[in-house]
Structure 1
Amino acid sequence: MIETMSAKHFVNDATHLVNSALQALTITNPSVALDAENKIIYRRPGHAPQVSIISGGGSGHEPSFGAFVGEGLLSASVAGTIFASPSAEQIRRAIMSRVDAQKGILVTVMNYTGDVLNFGMGVEKAKAAGMKVEMLVVGDDVGVGRAKAGKVGRRGIAGTVLVHKISGALAATGASLEDVYKVAKLTAENIVSVGASLDHVHVPGRAPPDPNSSEKLADGEVEIGMGIHNEPGSGREKVELPKLVERMLQQLLDQKDKDRAFLRVNSNEVVLLINNLGGVSVLELGGITAEVVGQLEKNYNIKPVRVLSGTYMTSLNGLGFSISILNVVNTNIGGPSMLQLLDAPCEATGWAAPVKKETWEAKSSQVRDASASAVDEIQASGLKIDPEAEKAALISGLERLIAAEPAVTRMDTVVGDGDCGIGLKRGAESVLKMVSQTKLSGDAVVDLSKIVQVVENTMDGTSGALYAIFLNSLVHYLRQQASAGVATAKVWGTALKQASEALSRYTPAQPGDRTLIDALHPFIEVLNASGDFKKAAEASKKGAEGTKGMKASLGRTVYIGGSGFEQVPDPGAWGLSELFLGLAGVKSSEPDYEMV
């Protein structure tokens, strides 16, 4: 995990940033409009009358709240500056002029003092004008317990979006304000959430954080229960993900923790929300989600009926995540259930839940039987090869390639991203293990096919794909020459040439482009001309050496630029030539290639 929060931003003017981001919402969703002066995003008129739902708060929590405005969700949102509540006047204008008031209005706000006071003032002004308005304050965070929170109560964090979604879907059905408020309140009372972060966030336009500040988290340290405005949580620890998730779930679900036992999960239906606070990669959020779901089932026997994982409420680019658990209960209003409301479609760019309820409820455990589609056992070709000589040549070639890894890595560090040597070594070690532990059949096609399977499973990236395509083609063309009976140099040469031609259909690389082709092509040409594997290997090495000073036409080196190509040969070509020399029985020379 990255452990330093970036203070770099593309837009450093916080006022311009908020205003332009609000404008962008009207670009990505044509059903919403912007009152720029008051920072209000609202649904355009023309839809059927319904209870209007308004929310909002400080900016910096996107997609909350503006991107949740749309059919089936919020009717309007009001934005403050970054991490600051909108004013009471902004809120009053939203309530009294930007939404349909015919069936009443529900104002939902997270439990922060500024938000509660300003939204409350706007609500009271609307009531004084004779409007039918209800206000609900959501506090779902258990990061700060009862003792410390005192009269303020729990903060509102990501679980609030579930309240918005469920109440918004109910309002869209034409339900009364009384029922919409009741279900929203019931939802809020059945949600618990907690967050964790590796660092505090930086607000655009502010001075960079002091690296010596006591607020800064140490390397490897996690703030458990951190709020969405950099507020402290329950404590800091150096802890890996499994233990971190364990602590977070304890705060959410441990009934023995009387300071935090806000919710007893007593329903057979539980919704899980894993929320990205803004700076966690999609890949890492997937790992977090898997860990949370696994521990819920193992330690609490909870199997969520819905799992939402994504970015719903951020803390700018916060390097953290939150877990929210909704205990699904009966709404007792005679209408759709909480789950049905959660599943109901909506038209808001910030809401992401693309899986249909039918898919969730099917609970399918079916998998495709690999044996049903797998390729049959490799059929013998009859193309013979001395298994002992074959094994010796393979071991020699693979060991030489493995020994060349440091040199190849040094070269690739200059002209690439430094992973070529490791990739070749990983593949070579895997093939060497297979060859050493397996009795070769003496059938060239069968044995090469087994090697191809190892290469495909252990070598990734561009070079792995090139090797896999080439070797699969080589298997094909060797099988076509099975009538020869013995895999002679001539047979190998012909098949190699045909496989090279097949490879050219997938890559434009030609000799002179500074790729592994510069080592492969001369090997094939000399082998076909001479029938001598050693001469062919030496030609391959000469071809690889010739790439030093050759400007790349393909591959990562093209993008890296610089003069590195003048200092070292192409690492892929060098590695392949080392393999060929080893296969031909040429012992590794010392010293390894040294960079000039």
Structure 2
Amino acid sequence: MSAKHFINDPTHLVLSALKSITLTNPTTALDTQNKILYLRPDAAKPQVSIISGGGSGHEPSFAAFVGPGLLSAAVAGTIFASPSAEQIRRCILQRVEKSKGVLVVVMNYTGDVLNFGMAVEKAKAAGFEVEMVVMADDAGVGRSKGGKVGRRGIAGTVLVHKIAGALAASGAALKDVYLVAKVVAENTVSIGSSLSHVHVPGREAGEEDELKKDEVEIGMGIHNEDGSERATTDLPGTVKTMLKYMLDQSDKERAFIDISKSDETVLLVNNLGGVSVLELGGITTEIVNQLGSDYGIKPVRILSGTFMTSLNGLGFSISLLRLTDAGVGKPLLELLDAPAEAAGWAAPIKTSTWTKPPTETREASQDAEVESKPSNISIDPAQASKALNAALDRVIKAEPDITRYDTVVGDGDCGIGLKRGAEGVKQHLGKSSSVKDAAQFVDGITSVIETDMDGTSGALYAIFLNALANGLRQQSSGESKPASPAIWAKALQTASESLSSYTPARPGDRTLIDALSPFVEELTKSGDVSKSAQAADEGSKKTKGMKASLGRTVYVGGSGYEEVPDPGAYGLAEFFTGLAEGSR
């Protein structure tokens, strides 16, 4: 692993790399503040917009795939970290064409799914037509290890980008673009391998669990995640194992897609960043030869190059797409072959594009902010603030315990994050004493959470609160009515259902859901906040000794869960207890 870089400032590195896309493709523009690379509005006719993105460090994904015939915009996070929901929200609402609908394509990583999901929910609540497809193609993660989290998304994602982008460019409706993206995602399988870990610019070079000279890590993720196994082998042996993980139907851990020799397929061989062009050619030949000799598979298209990297990762990945009829009126192969004018795709920029000077950008100042619509469900803001302040004070007081629990089973930031959010909401409540509409009251709190809370917890709470406001508005009628326990319970049910579409967490998985779910159930049944808070507290206590099915410990492991409750569930239970006390 090399820790030497020409640019060591990660912030400058990401921004300058994004700027370079606008220098190599005149159809693109950059929103520097929000790290959004987007298609200029004069570069293509109105069509379904396709947005993707994720952490930086995977170039040319995602920004270099922005261009006519491919992506409409890409949102970049810091290196190996998800962009924020606010960046993504601004991308959807301010930087792309929305008249035909928007498709969001995201890889299956918790932060990406939650933050993109939060922005999607925000756009839907504003009345826009938006769909999201989550890509999970990595066969390096077996069923047992992946659990409810599932497989990671890796380089097969670019096939979804290209095919969906071509269909959108043809003028297809959102329902068909969404369908073709799902079909490609469901029929693609990938795996990567590497000879070394990578070093992130700006970080201290630590004691990495570096591979030995002759070792290869099979199934390594694109963020330095451990693979399925380490082996001392040569290229033919490495490829043989990788193809077995992808294609062996007797391996019930990884038989995700049944691809036979009678199927037409597309092969994508991807450079993880540090393999020479010469060596990648030799790797491609070895893969094609083994596919034919061992499986009788002869791909009808072979794409070999650099599509999705792990910085300068000394490795490669293999992706196979099984071609099938997606039912959208155009064959997948035709869409794959369609021209695209993006710097990261193997298609030339047209002469007319170079000679036509760019004349227009989509300025944020021209876009009106989405109005917070009333629900006609009224609250007493003084009483609501009193109850919430009591709940927030209890969370702040509990921060040391939450932090201690999270230090045992997580990375120790849960308590600080909850405290930061609670303090921000308390400050907001002092300024919102006149807001009497329930949904608009929740909207104000949601804005604080989106700004002040980061990490997985912040995204979960923001998605839930956005959906809670939407659940209140769904119960709106012509006349104003007070927010009864039954109305809150129904809105909470709506929010819980919405949250469940972005996280696989369910009661018993040792997450905040173990406190949230019993609270909602009891409130629906009895309408009694005190009884509901007690149910949440009991749910939180049950997490002590409960093995996690989701989150960091799925990959890292450990036995601390036997000694402490889940910190997220405990913090939420404390909030509900304070809410009940403040409501009396």
Q: State TM-score, norm by structure 2.
A: 0.59
The one-letter code of the counterpart of 1:50 is Q
Distance of 1:117 and 1:216 partners within structure 2: 31
Point out 4+ residue stretches in structure 1 off by more than 2 angstroms: none
* Partner in structure 2 of residue 118 of structure 1: 115
Preserved CA contact (<8 Å) 1:106 1:181: yes
The one-letter code of the counterpart of 2:75 is V
Q: Does 1:14 align with 2:13?
A: no
Q: Does 1:40 align with 2:30?
A: no
From 60, 64, 73, the counterpart of 1:76:
73
From 291, 306, 320, the counterpart of 2:286:
291
Counterpart secondary structure, 1:307: strand
Distance of 1:292 and 1:36 partners within structure 2: 40
Q: Does 1:207 align with 2:210?
A: no
Which structure 2 residue ranges, 5 or more long, are not aligned?
349-584
Q: How does 1:393-412 map to 2 (within 5 A)?
A: none
* Partner in structure 2 of residue 343 of structure 1: 337
Q: How does 1:285-324 map to 2 (within 5 A)?
A: 285-324=280-319
Distance of 1:289 and 1:49 partners within structure 2: 38
More displaced, 47-56 or 263-272? 263-272
What is the CA distance between 1:209 and its match in structure 2? 3.6
Deviation readout 1:19-68 (Å, 9 max, x if unpaired)? 11111111110100000000000000122110000000000000000000
From 237, 255, 259, the counterpart of 2:253:
259
Preserved CA contact (<8 Å) 2:340 2:347: no
Distance of 1:243 and 1:199 partners within structure 2: 17
The one-letter code of the counterpart of 2:61 is S
Distance of 2:206 and 2:280 partners within structure 1: 26
Distance of 1:331 and 1:134 partners within structure 2: 17
The structure-2 alpha-carbon separation of the partners of 1:61 and 1:10, relative to structure 1 and needing over 3 Å to count, comes to same
* Partner in structure 1 of residue 154 of structure 2: 157
What is the CA distance between 1:94 and its match in structure 2? 0.3
Deviation readout 1:189-225 (Å, 9 max, x if unpaired)? 0000000000100011111242xx4x11111111100
Q: Does 1:330 align with 2:343?
A: no
Deviation readout 1:89-138 (Å, 9 max, x if unpaired)? 00000001100000000000000000000000000000010000001100
* Partner in structure 2 of residue 277 of structure 1: 272
* Partner in structure 2 of residue 509 of structure 1: none
Counterpart secondary structure, 1:154: coil
Distance of 1:256 and 1:55 partners within structure 2: 34
Distance of 1:222 and 1:353 partners within structure 2: 33
Q: Does 1:216 align with 2:213?
A: no
Question: Larger Cα Rg: Structure 1 or Structure 2?
Answer: 1
* Partner in structure 1 of residue 470 of structure 2: none
Preserved CA contact (<8 Å) 1:308 1:353: no
The one-letter code of the counterpart of 2:267 is L
Distance of 2:96 and 2:6 partners within structure 1: 34
Q: Does 1:89 align with 2:108?
A: no
Counterpart secondary structure, 1:151: coil
Preserved CA contact (<8 Å) 2:88 2:119: yes
Q: How does 1:364-375 map to 2 (within 5 A)?
A: none
What is the CA distance between 1:268 and its match in structure 2? 3.0
Distance of 1:193 and 1:20 partners within structure 2: 30
Preserved CA contact (<8 Å) 1:195 1:224: yes
The one-letter code of the counterpart of 1:306 is R
Counterpart secondary structure, 2:148: helix
* Partner in structure 2 of residue 398 of structure 1: none
* Partner in structure 2 of residue 511 of structure 1: none
Which structure 1 residue ranges, 5 or more long, are not aligned?
355-596
Distance of 2:214 and 2:281 partners within structure 1: 20
What is the CA distance between 1:331 and its match in structure 2? 1.4
Distance of 2:238 and 2:164 partners within structure 1: 32
* Partner in structure 1 of residue 184 of structure 2: 187
Distance of 1:139 and 1:111 partners within structure 2: 5
The one-letter code of the counterpart of 1:341 is L
Alpha-carbon RMSD across the aligned residues, in angstroms, is 0.9
Distance of 1:98 and 1:197 partners within structure 2: 37
From 346, 349, 355, the counterpart of 1:352:
346
The structure-2 alpha-carbon separation of the partners of 1:302 and 1:353, relative to structure 1 and needing over 3 Å to count, comes to farther
Counterpart secondary structure, 2:267: strand
Q: How does 1:435-584 map to 2 (within 5 A)?
A: none
What is the CA distance between 1:265 and its match in structure 2? 1.1
Q: State TM-score, norm by structure 1.
A: 0.58
* Partner in structure 2 of residue 521 of structure 1: none
From 214, 227, 233, the counterpart of 1:239:
233
The structure-2 alpha-carbon separation of the partners of 1:222 and 1:88, relative to structure 1 and needing over 3 Å to count, comes to same
What is the CA distance between 1:353 and its match in structure 2? 6.0
* Partner in structure 1 of residue 221 of structure 2: 227
Choose between structure 1 and 2 for higher RCO, CA contacts under 8 A separated by at least 6 residues. 2
Counterpart secondary structure, 1:152: coil
Deviation readout 1:383-410 (Å, 9 max, x if unpaired)? xxxxxxxxxxxxxxxxxxxxxxxxxxxx
Paired residues, number: 346
Preserved CA contact (<8 Å) 2:341 2:347: no
* Partner in structure 1 of residue 23 of structure 2: 27
Counterpart secondary structure, 1:236: strand
